[in-house]
Amino acid sequence: MGEWKLINANQAAAHAARLARAAVIPAYPITPQTTVVETIEEFIHEGIMDAEYIRVESEHSAMAAAIGASASGVRTFTATSSQGLLYMGEVVFWAAGSRLPIGMVIVDRAVGPPWNIHTDHQDAMSQRDSGWIQMFVSSAQEALDSVITMYKVAENPEVLLPFMVCIDAFILSHTYMPVNVPDQAEVDSFLPTYRPPHWMLDPDLPVDMGNLVMPMEDYMEMRWSIHTSMEKAKELLNQISREFAERFGRDHGGLVKAVDLEDADVAIVSLGTLSSEAEYALKRIDTAKTGLLKVRMFRPFPREEIIKLLKDKDVVVVLDRSISFGHSGPLAMEVRSALYGIDEAPKVVNFIVGLGGRDVTYKDIVSMVNFAIKVPEDEVFPCYWYGLKDRIRSLRLKGVI
């Protein structure tokens, strides 16, 4: 079923918005996201998608319009990247705080200065604590399937939180791959029409959204409510992903996807396309039995899976395409904190790689794993920058590899 097309992840995301019957699309262009909203505009123009398309004047307005649309009770979709997401930032928090299940694709791009349009996860990481569900994908097919799956998770009456599906710039956004585009009827039977369970904007019953609260009123309770819904989203994502796999015959995993992990001594942990490169690297590592844990959902964070699948490993190699300046890679921080306090916890070795789109090949990943195995047990908080230019001294890895 469905139809095979040769498309890139941006077009796949646009198909997902169409198939999900998103009814309002506030659109503002930014490289490398632009072709997501451009493709949607073409669908509307061709008459194969029925949606209100709003050409807004900025990303801040895009999210403000999405909030208004979603609050009026319709499924809403937009997309952005990098500086656009940062400019949108204030209203990104409002969307989550207002409990509106808006869908957004982030085409992850480096943050300036200096200007750089290539992939880097720092844009998405900057919104980590916004209350949005964050999913990272590693193929165009996974992008399409995840947008549809995530609407079902986000619109659940016990979740009601917005979600972002994060796509690596160019590596996914502009690379053409065979993608199975499902039939409308298949998607309709999986994803029901969105009906807000609690309230919506209605002139006959006016509501105030986000009114002032005093410290003794419900602010803290609302934060707690978002947090518990995030925990609920974990359970639902695993369940709904299984349902998706059964219906559509494609299994991308749930919160995480493990590859050859069961009897491995070494585990690679990564997000986005680094995972597909790491999967390719696995067969070329001959120094230790190595498996891969692809983290799909970053918020809520799959700590239970991390503990269960990694606690018995000797070495965990975490690849971060992002840096939290003055500390380490964001994924490594989370993995370390999940494993803290476990008896004979694995040694976690973090590599900062591929910032601003610098290429990371399977050969690099093989080198990093070989290096990580030799990092002494007593080294505190190992975190290395891999792939810096020689002139900055960099590679402590040199000589070893």
Q: How far is the CB of 396 from other proteins (least distance, A)?
A: 42
Question: Could you give phi then psi for residue 135, rounded to 5 degrees?
Answer: -125, 135
Three-state secondary structure readout of 100-129: CCCEEEEEECCCCCCCCCCCCCHHHHCCCC
Q: How far is the CB of 398 from other proteins (least distance, A)?
A: 48
> How many CB atoms neighbour CB 73 within 10 A?
16
Exposure of 201 by Cβ count < 10 A (0-12 exposed, 13-18 middle, 19+ buried)? Answer: middle
Tell me if the bond preceding 162 is cis, omega within 30° of 0. Answer: no
Is 250 or 303 the residue whose CB approaches other proteins more closely?
A: 303
CA-to-CA separations, 310 to 204, 256, 295, 313, in angstroms, rounded: 54, 12, 12, 5
Q: How far is the CB of 205 from other proteins (least distance, A)?
A: 8
Is 41 or 235 the residue whose CB approaches other proteins more closely?
A: 235
Is 208 or 390 the residue whose CB approaches other proteins more closely?
A: 208
Given the rule CB under 8 A, which residues bind other proteins?
Answer: 97-99, 157-158, 160, 198-199, 205-213, 218, 221-222, 224-225, 228-229, 231-232
CA distance 209 to 159: 18
Q: How far is the CB of 207 from other proteins (least distance, A)?
A: 5
**110 and 322 Cβ atoms separated by less than 8 Å:** no
Q: How far is the CB of 142 from other proteins (least distance, A)?
A: 27
CA distance 396 to 401: 10
Q: How far is the CB of 373 from other proteins (least distance, A)?
A: 38
Is 50 or 218 the residue whose CB approaches other proteins more closely?
A: 218
Q: How far is the CB of 219 from other proteins (least distance, A)?
A: 9
Query: Of 232, 69, 67, 269, which Cα lies nearest the Cα of 162?
Result: 67
Plot region of 283 (φ>0 → left; ψ -120 to 50 → alpha; else → beta): alpha
Is 115 or 199 the residue whose CB approaches other proteins more closely?
A: 199
Q: How far is the CB of 227 from other proteins (least distance, A)?
A: 10
Exposure of 74 by Cβ count < 10 A (0-12 exposed, 13-18 middle, 19+ buried)? Answer: middle
Q: How far is the CB of 179 from other proteins (least distance, A)?
A: 34
Is 202 or 251 the residue whose CB approaches other proteins more closely?
A: 202
**275 and 297 Cβ atoms separated by less than 8 Å:** no
CA distance 218 to 359: 48
Which tokens in the block code for residue 29? 């262009």
Tell me if the bond preceding 32 is cis, omega within 30° of 0. Answer: yes
